[in-house]
Structure 1
Amino acid sequence: MSQLPPLGGPNASYTPAQIRRNRLIFLGLVLVLAGLVAFWALGPYETKDQSATLKAGDCFENIGTDKEAKTKKLDCTDAHADYKVLKMDRDGVVDTFSCSGVPGTTGSLTQSGSGDWFVVCFKENDEQGRK
């Protein structure tokens, strides 16, 4: 009959230095993973679109593109607050209808799809950079 190795206990093939090194490598991997998860969860909020939260009188910066605008709501005196909302039309679908009667409108932002339709009528912010 063959003899089985004993169960449990430390493996004599690893030296204390190797065990410490392996623990440090494991700890480093855990820290990197935790950092990635924290960055994903708390990451840069500039990429989140705040268009749906705008209302008349709010100011914003376009952090997207001209074709795919993404707004970041800012204080009107902020140097980056390029535009001021004149009207938020939650029932609007076509910007020419929603913004045609709003004096001073120089641009519009339309969002449609996924049940959230609205039109934002805006102008250039004349309070930009004032403190």
Structure 2
Amino acid sequence: MSQMPPLNTPYTPAQIRRNRLILLGLILVLAAMTAFWAFGPHDTKDQSATLKAGDCFENLGTNKEAKTKKLDCTDPHADYKVLKMNANAVVDTFACEDVPGTTGSLTQSGPGKWFVVCFKNNDEKGKKQHRAGA
């Protein structure tokens, strides 16, 4: 039969070194994941607050949580055209009811971020611009 080691036996230097390397490895993995999350590629930064009438955009988010990317109106991804940006508005139905042609609205609310964007489908999507004199 084998014997059980007595309780409160100190760890050997090899065990201590191994445990420290495991802990260091976990810390490095967590640090790398945090750095990627914080500094990694973010194509989904929301540009809703910068939109103004005449701008076109693509929704990179969902219908419930829109994340807009401002684009040239002739861009094939520019799905929507802003008809009105209503700063300090809260309710989209009231903010967009007097805007002819509105097919949708985007509402943002939060600390210092209250606005409604009234938009329609972009008719210029994918059309090439013609230069004057060409």
Q: TM-score, normalised by structure 2?
A: 0.67
> Hey, which bits of structure 1, 4+ residues long, moved more than 2 A?
36-41
Q: 1:99 aligns with which of 96, 99, 109?
A: 96
Structure 1 residue 50 displacement after superposition:
0.5
Q: Deviations over 1:10-65 (max 9, x none)?
A: xxxxxxxxxxxxxxxxxxx9xxx6xx847843x32322111001000000000000
Q: Report what 1:55 is aligned to.
A: 52
Q: Report what 1:121 is aligned to.
A: 118
Provide the secondary structure at the position in 2 that maps to 1:72.
strand
Report the identity percentage. Answer: 75
User: What amino acid sits opposite 1:91 in the alignment?
Assistant: N
Q: 1:84 aligns with which of 76, 81, 84?
A: 81
Q: Report what 1:14 is aligned to.
A: none
Q: TM-score, normalised by structure 1?
A: 0.68
Q: Report what 1:20 is aligned to.
A: none
Could you list the runs of 5+ residues in structure 2 that have no partner in the other structure?
Answer: 1-27, 129-134
Structure 1 residue 113 displacement after superposition:
1.1
Provide the secondary structure at the position in 1 that maps to 2:95.
helix
Provide the secondary structure at the position in 2 that maps to 1:45.
coil
